[in-house]
Chains A and B, each alone.
Chain A
Amino acid sequence: MSKKVYDVAIIGAGIVGTMTAFYLSKYNVNAVVLEAGIDIASGTTRANSAVIHAGYDAPEGSLKAKLNVKGAKMVGPIAKQLGVHYKKCGSLVLGYNKKDLNQLKILLVRGKKNGVRGLEILTQSQLRKMEPNVSRDAKYALYAPSAGIVCPYDLAYALGENSCTNGVDYIFEYKVDKIEKNQRNYLLYSNNRVVKAKYVVNAAGLYSDEIAEMLGDPLPFKIIPRRGEYLLLDKCEGKVVTHTLFVTPSEKGKGILVSPTVDGNVLVGPNANVVESKADTGVTVEGVREISEGARGIVPSINLNTVITTFAGVRSTPTSGDFYIQESKKFPRFVHAAGIESPGLASSPAIGEYIIKILDRAGLKMEEKEDYIPTRTKDGNCKLFMDMTESEKRNAVRKDPHYAKIVCRCEMVTEGDIINAIKRPIPAHTIDMVKRRTRAGMGRCQGGYCRAKVAEIIARELNIKISDVKKFTSNSNVIGGRTK
């Protein structure tokens, strides 16, 4: 058993866990992130609407409202610091009738009280000028210029890599299954392995209730898994909308949206259905029909034949209706961050700061680092070839000829990008890990062209057999055995 005792252990490497690690790594604190999955963003953080909500949805005075408005303003600067794609594209909530208009007015007033700036209600002609393809039945819209979009998993990778570069340890495939406490420390077990820490942050998303139960301090509410399904459209449809378009929210939630993505695709979804299993990220034929209809109600001309992939994410909806971020009353120095449903992503920087303040108040010694590295690696922010300027491209190719070889032709990902992903602070060693870090296989042919090549590169760089290359988990070999 290892003698090492961490100052802080964070359970879960979603946006909440990695954001907390990001802030902690600015201080001389010994921290570790324990993640059940094989990679950062294995849970809800990798499948959501990616919207940085402005902050008019949450009821006045709620923790959600406070952290959303504050967090949304912090996303831009963090994205800039870490080289993450972020776009302040603005959002529009569409109203189709007088009843909707009343609802929009309520949102406007609420937003103003929450401190959201620039909100206004548009007339149909103003709306059509901004979004010419929007349905003619949409008569009004609430415009929020401060809303934006981000790539949620890339943001989490960036935070993970930066904190790793600044000394935070990451342990993957470490599913905490038992928690004990001795006089001074918490003992976090996984399959007979143990990690000890003085302070613990429960950022296990959908499973934060289970962690609380393991501790012996059940949450004062239930977490209901509600799945949202999505369609992702080809870049050729990318200009059909330029803002995030919502319909007026109902009791069921925010409803289906049509939104650009930072990479130039279009995202359509989500619906909201309670599912039995928290792990049920399957997509159903009925669900696809439901969101297709919803999307046509927003943009009638949308070409849904351009779908390149479908996916689903599961919300961790708390029956209490608000975020729950508190130190356990029974177990000091153990902080729960639970019920982080939407707008968890938009709020995440403020959530991270809030957690740090709780740790500070609970007595964690926090002394600022003198040698803090503000970027993902010591040498900067791992820019992808396609994001480089012309002269950066020229230099990259000159320094390393691997950058002259295109592997994914849909997204123009080079072999250099892929090798870099395999060697970055939190290294990629599966097809999907490479995919999410580089976009190789995320284009219109969905890896039809490059998957075999990516597998070859992973095998070569890691010195393993190609038949041992995985898609995502330990049992997901990409291919079967040898031919005859």
Chain B
Amino acid sequence: MSKTMKKRLVIIGSGPAGLSCALSALKNGIPKENILVLEREEELGGTLNLCIHAGFGKDNKTGTELATELADKVRNAGITCMTSTTVLSIDKRKIITLISPELGYTKITAEAIVLATGCRERSRGGLSIGGTRPAGILSAGTAQRFINLEGYMPGAKTVVVGTTDLALVIARRITLEGGQVVFVCDSKKKPQSERVKVGECLDYFNIPLKLHTTITRIFGKDRIEGVEIAELDKKGRPIKETKERVECDSLVYSCGFIPENELANSLGIEMRQSTHGPRTTRKMETSIDGIFSCGNSRMIHEDVDDIILDGKKAGKFVAEHLKSLKEDKKKKKEKKQ
């Protein structure tokens, strides 16, 4: 039998939410030895590490810069962060099962847990486009990883589906790297982006934007060779007469994000239909006592600053919770004596 480790506060996820939560818990009186941050990736910082474009935080940093800044603060404060560490499960007694190359397959018992696992991209399944499923179709996140971290392009002629912030940023990136974006389209009547401006990303680079337009078919057996597009009528159905075949060798889609809540779900935490995140109290506690949720795993936030704020609040509330636990214990002890 291996012995289980103990930690008072375990934060799962080291994106802006998790890191700012750790700092805030420290500031609110939880000693650094009692805090542990777990991260699946090799680096701290979460999704920010993929965002090499500027526009984050107050002084318009790149995502990578902001990630490094937050990570340094946490490390310099002496908080333990374990990277390349994946939480496999949590049970109701707050026993966390995890694997990491360093510790192997291990269990940690926590007094309080903060879920800051971020969000994931929605998949193409939701798009339900007809045709074959050839290579050359990537989610915006995958495309971003290939381009920014590996230095590879999705193709030479790319169609981008979706007008989320990420979709627009990717369209610009592809153009900057020497690729051609045939067009960006969305079935909605308005672009879905919140912070990024269409002008900056598309107009400036002469990338056409087709709104209220959908992809009705994908062509190609091995690699994608083209798509069929159509404008939509009032009821959102494709208009036959507007169908048109467009050649391309790659397609990047971005269907938005959804909170990542596998752990919360497996714990049986109550979820909120509208946000796909856990139902939380005013103090950001979930339906299970001592388990908190913040950042994009609680609900999708558009702005990193809001996420950092969410993490800070969670840090404060979880610190209060731990203090009250300690006092309860003390009282019990006194009663016994």
Contacts and interface: CB of A to CB of B under 8 A. Distances in A.
A480 B155 contact: yes
A472 B233 CA distance: 37
A412 B152 CA distance: 26
Contacts of B156: 480-481
A446 B137 CA distance: 11
Interface in A264-296: 279, 281-285, 287-288
Nearest to A479: B152
A149 B157 CA distance: 42
A483 B99 contact: no
Nearest to B129: A285
A59 to B, nearest CB: 36
Main secondary structure of the interface of A (DSSP, over half): mixed
A418 to B, nearest CB: 14
Contacts of A283: 130-131, 133
A456 B125 CA distance: 24
Interface stretch (A243-251, A313-321, A403-411): A403-411
A178 interface: no
A473 B134 CA distance: 10
Interface stretch (A94-102, A208-216, A392-400): A392-400
Given A448-B123, A480-B250, A484-B178, A475 B155 contact: no
Contacts of A456: 150
B61 to A, nearest CB: 22
Contacts of A482: 151-153
B125 A309 contact: yes
A2 to B, nearest CB: 30
Contacts of A477: 135, 223
B133 A311 contact: yes
A472 B135 contact: yes
A406 B86 contact: yes
Contacts of A467: 152
Contact of A398 (B104, B129, B176): B104
B88 interface: yes
Interface residues of B, number: 54
A308 B129 CA distance: 12
A483 B152 contact: yes
B132 interface: yes
A412 B88 contact: yes
B306 interface: no
B99 A403 contact: yes
Interface string B229-242: 00000000000000
A480 B249 contact: yes
B84 interface: yes
Given A404-B100, A483-B151, A484-B178, A446 B88 contact: no
A285 B99 contact: no
Contact of B154 (A284, A310, A466, A479): A479
A444 interface: yes
Interface string A445-484: 1111101100010000000001100111111111111111
Contact of B125 (A403, A446, A470): A446
12 contacts: A236-B265, A285-B128, A308-B123, A397-B105, A406-B99, A446-B124, A448-B123, A452-B150, A479-B153, A479-B154, A481-B153, A482-B153
Given A446-B124, A447-B142, 13 more contacts: A282-B132, A307-B128, A308-B123, A310-B125, A311-B133, A390-B105, A397-B105, A444-B125, A448-B139, A448-B141, A480-B250, A481-B153, A483-B152
Interface of A: 232, 236, 279, 281-285, 287-288, 305, 307-311, 390, 393-394, 397-398, 401, 403-406, 409-410, 412, 414, 431, 444-449, 451-452, 456, 466-467, 470-484
Top 7 A-B residue pairs of the complex, sorted by shortest distance between their CB atoms: A471-B135, A448-B139, A476-B135, A480-B155, A401-B101, A475-B222, A406-B86
